Amino acid sequence: MRYALNGDTMWSRGYGSIAAFDNVNCLDLLPDSGFALFGTVYTNVGYDMRLIRTDANGDTLWTRRYGGPEDQQCLSGQRTLDGGYVLSGFKYFNNDHVNMYVVKTDSAGHQQWHQWYGSAWIDNAGFILQLPDSGYLLAGARRELELDFLHPCLYRLDKTGAVIWNETYDPDEWGVFFAIPIRTQDGYTMSGGRYDDNTNVIGMLMHVDASGTKRWERTYHTNTQVDHYFYDVKRTLDGGYIMAGTAFDSLLVSQDAWLVKVDSFGCLVPGCQVFDGLEEQVTDLGDVLEVYPNPARDQATVHIALPQGLERKNLRLALVSAEGNLVHEEAVPATATMHSLELSRYPAGLYFVHLRDGARWLAGTKLVLSSP
């Protein structure tokens, strides 16, 4: 479906057969204003990857299918620098194991090569990004042992699909990358999900350097819901990230759309990167901290309104400068609802107040210190 800038529908199109299971999981806008649609089509022998090329009006120019006797499904794809296309997802092998799967085509959609990646057991799907050197980054999850958890993994590929390096992360926990990765100036950022200590699924954002070494990882969840999944991540104009997904209630019956915006370090409020070992962040406690007066000069009072039932211990209140320096931190009683901050020794400027519970970030807010 194509929309005008004001949201009015310009046209809508359907692709595939109403008698079969067909889907489109990814779309790429092409230089001629046409589109490449990447997805899956059901045949009488199983599932195949599918690429549909359309004109600017969404009318089909050609369709290609990729597969064999086993099932294979496409979850991501894009136009490549040589004018062709690359598709990625997963492939079944004799119903006993699953691998990440990549298909590369020419500009007419004819297959040039295909390759699978992962273990000899049941892995997860792969999501692909082409890089400026015409190689690729494939993000997904794999097992190290047959009965092992899935672990997030990256494969750096050359333009022929050969592996340059691969890395597996969080070897002691279940986790997956579940979106097309993002290339940054200093590496790559991926989103997905992983288990917390209670085996609930929480959203995850990870940043690695250009060689795949992990630089930081953040996890996110609400206070009231149980399982959380990120299905997409995009870079924002301020250098941060925005993740989209779903959050399920405790009975896994209802679900809510879930949108999380963070800065370039994965922080809900700037400055969380200064706390060693801090990964976990609660996303729906944004209004539990109130600082007044604000702007302040010599002293400010912090009102803390944590919800009943929230487990809390080792509460700490911190002040972080706009430059990202930790300037003050102190313990706060677990039952505190008011806390006074002495500010007279700090220069005027913008600061961020953070409330954390050990390695768990709970809330934060801005504080402006005025000149004497």
Tell whether 198 and 312 lie within a shared domain: no
Q: What's the number of domains the chain is made of?
A: 2
What is the pLDDT confidence band of residue 107, given thresholds at 50, 70 and 90? very high
The pLDDT of residue 251 is above 70: no
Tell whether 267 and 293 lie within a shared domain: no
What is the pLDDT confidence band of residue 198, given thresholds at 50, 70 and 90? low
Count Cβ neighbours within 10 Å for each residue of 264-292 and write b for 16 or more, e otherwise. Answer: bbbbbbbbbbbbeebbbbbbbbeebbebe
Among the ranges given (3-17, 158-172, 206-220), the one the predictor scored with the smallest mean pLDDT = 3-17
- Amino acid making up residue 324: G
Tell whether 139 and 184 lie within a shared domain: yes
Give the domain CATH number at 108.
2.120.10.10
Residue at a domain's end among 234, 267, 282: 282
Residue at a domain's end among 282, 302, 327: 282
Tell whether 192 and 334 lie within a shared domain: no
Domain extent, residue 331, equals 289-369
Tell whether 236 and 278 lie within a shared domain: yes
Tell whether 6 and 150 lie within a shared domain: yes
Residue at a domain's end among 282, 302, 335: 282
Question: Tokens in use for 107?
Answer: 């500009």
Rounded to two decimals, what is the model's pTM?
A: 0.93
Tell whether 39 and 179 lie within a shared domain: yes
Give the domain CATH number at 322.
2.60.40.10
The pLDDT of residue 28 is above 80: yes
Tell whether 128 and 169 lie within a shared domain: yes
Tell whether 72 and 171 lie within a shared domain: yes
Tell whether 322 and 274 lie within a shared domain: no
* Residue range 218-235, pLDDT digits in tens: 999 998 778 899 999 999
The pLDDT of residue 19 is above 70: no
Tell whether 223 and 298 lie within a shared domain: no
More confidently predicted of 111 and 252: 111
Tell whether 309 and 222 lie within a shared domain: no
The pLDDT of residue 369 is above 80: yes
